[in-house]
Structure 1
């Protein structure tokens, strides 16, 4: 019981025993050990129950795996805060060290919000970001947070970070016990910035400070929320948008141009520069233009702009199950830093 909250490695019996016994090793944070059952939260955020009668061996292990050579060093708290600043919500509220974030297209009618469960523009901009103590018991904090979102007709969610030093595994376990379901599992990945720009400038890539109609033609996530999306996307310390036009892009110098067209896009991307960090998002390539190296070209031009502003490290966020995107970013030198997911409030 004294090891609850620590990172452990546990071997358990998963077969029938005897000559054909099989064993499973589970590594993660021990979040509870009650009524003969251990719950271990893995790096990716999944909670694994293990019956103590099946235990074979276990030990406390170091808090984080060894960092790969060339990967920027950073604490989880630093990157969580940088990523939040790079994707700022339209509206925020505070509960102690929790930030409540909302980014919907407009406010619901007065008196008509409760009962609605709208989706705002991305879960990142519409969720509680817990960065410490909310200043009150957890049950009260969750009630206040839930009320805040329901007053706006939005789905109440909490962003939960896992897989690092002093992350939210215990909070995730508490939320699970209260019926808040896990969803939208993702990874935050990091890389050195300079290698991303180590290629010849590509004149097909046009960089601008705001997203135009051609950029939005490929960015489908804005949906019916163009104003909220624009506020979030253009927020941040220093933001760049990259576009490769559908016709291949007009000639230019170094990929920079001030003009804009509504003729559609073959590839797009976004980068926000904040101190030493360059955060990449909105990377999209039209299906008929894939395997032409456009994603790499877009990343390179955005990285070049970020380097010119003094950045040296890169981060991005990718869905855990998006194997194609993970493989692409593996090839660019990105490595997992930590994981995160969302806990959605139960109905009623």
Structure 2
């Protein structure tokens, strides 16, 4: 695998699905529909069989678990070109955005100022009820979602004003990488420095637990998040896209 594909494997381990099966170096993933990352085939490296057979296996796996067949693949990679040549199409319907930027930060040397107001920021090892309340978006709360978000070694960043949870973030450790996700600030508490403060706190937590680098994934269309992370020292590492089969081209060969 090349560097972007190795990093995608690391990110996948930080966002564990409920079911995963190897397909050569590819990985088939299912989490009852919660997020594209946990309900797609990670198409990195060699699937260990002809591409057409690999894509059929992706379809069979997805159909058998009631999800849409989909692959996550590094943009402009040989795998992506081969998948496009096989007739698959960009998953433009994907609600969270089918084109994603992967940003990295190699050192945690940027000093982040504390938030304004009377906010308290911490990173406990267990999620609080308030953390779940903000981290899970409308319609997402399910046993599968909670299992994905609680998988692995995780720090649950929380900013609070008194008893009110105002912002949250998730940091997951994989080897010496800190994977950052689920940054969310309550609508009534935005533009008060909470996002930057939480990022600083979760990075410090990661460094304390042995992380030397940080990585996060953000939709290309999320200009506000991209600007925030650039200001905190994150830079583009690579991009990935989701692809789906053309209508009628992905029948279940096991039926």
The TM-score by the shorter chain falls in which range? 0.7 to 0.9
| RMSD between aligned residues | 2.2
TM, length-normalised to structure 2: 0.86
Shift of 1:78: 3.0
Counterpart Cα distance in 2 of 1:283 and 1:100: 26
2:157 matched to which residue of 1? 242
Q: 1:224 Cα shift?
A: 4.4
Query: Does 2:115 align with 1:215?
Result: no
Match of 2:214 in 1: 314
Picking from 158, 161, 164, the partner of 2:71 is 158
Q: Which has the higher helix share?
A: 2
Q: Are 1:271 and 1:281, in contact at CA under 8 Å, matched by a contact in 2? A: yes
**Equivalence map 1:102-251=2 (5 Å):** 102-104=30-32, 120-162=33-75, 168=77, 170-183=78-91, 184-196=98-110, 199=113, 204-221=120-137, 223-236=139-152, 238-245=153-160, 248-249=161-162
Matches of 1:198 and 1:225, distance apart in 2: 31
Per the alignment, residue 27 of structure 2 pairs with: 99
Cα distance in 2, alignment partners of residues 175 and 192 from structure 1? 32
8 Å contact kept, 2:173–2:179:
yes
Question: Aligned ranges for residues 313-332 of structure 1 at < 5 Å?
Answer: 313-332=213-232
Cα shift at 1:338: 0.3
Unaligned runs of 5+ in 2: 92-97, 249-255
Q: Which has the larger radius of gyration?
A: 1
Contact 1:219/1:284 (8 A) holds in 2:
yes
How far did residue 266 of structure 1 move?
Answer: 1.3
Given the superposition, is the C-alpha separation of residues 321 and 227 from structure 1 closer, same or farther in structure 2, using an over 3 Å criterion?
same
Q: Does the 8 Å CA contact 1:193/1:303 hold for their aligned counterparts?
A: no
Q: 1:306 to 1:298 in 2, by over 3 A?
A: same
Partner SS, residue 109 of structure 2: helix
Equivalent-residue separation in structure 1 for 2:237 and 2:119 (angstroms): 33
Of the structure 1 ranges 154-163 and 173-182, higher mean CA displacement relative to structure 2 is found in: 173-182
- Give the deviation of 1:222 after TM superposition: 7.0
What TM-score, normalized by structure 1, do the two folds share?
A: 0.64
Correspondences of 1:8-87 after superposition (within 5 Å): 75-87=3-15
Which whole-Å CA distance do the structure 1 matches of 2:132 and 2:237 have between them? 29
Paired residues of 1:196 and 1:303 also in contact (CA < 8 A): no
Note the residue ranges of structure 1 that are not aligned, 5 or more in a row. Answer: 1-73, 105-119, 251-262
Q: Choose which of 263, 267, 281 in structure 1 pairs with 2:167.
A: 267
In structure 2, C-alpha distance between the alignment counterparts of 1:197 and 1:227, rounded to whole Å: 37
Alignment match, 1:47: none
Q: Does the 8 A contact of 1:182 with 1:341 survive in 2?
A: yes
Larger relative contact order (C-alpha < 8 A, sep ≥ 6)?
A: 2
- Report if the CA contact (8 A) 1:219-1:282 is conserved: yes
CA distance in 1, matches of 2:112, 2:210: 16
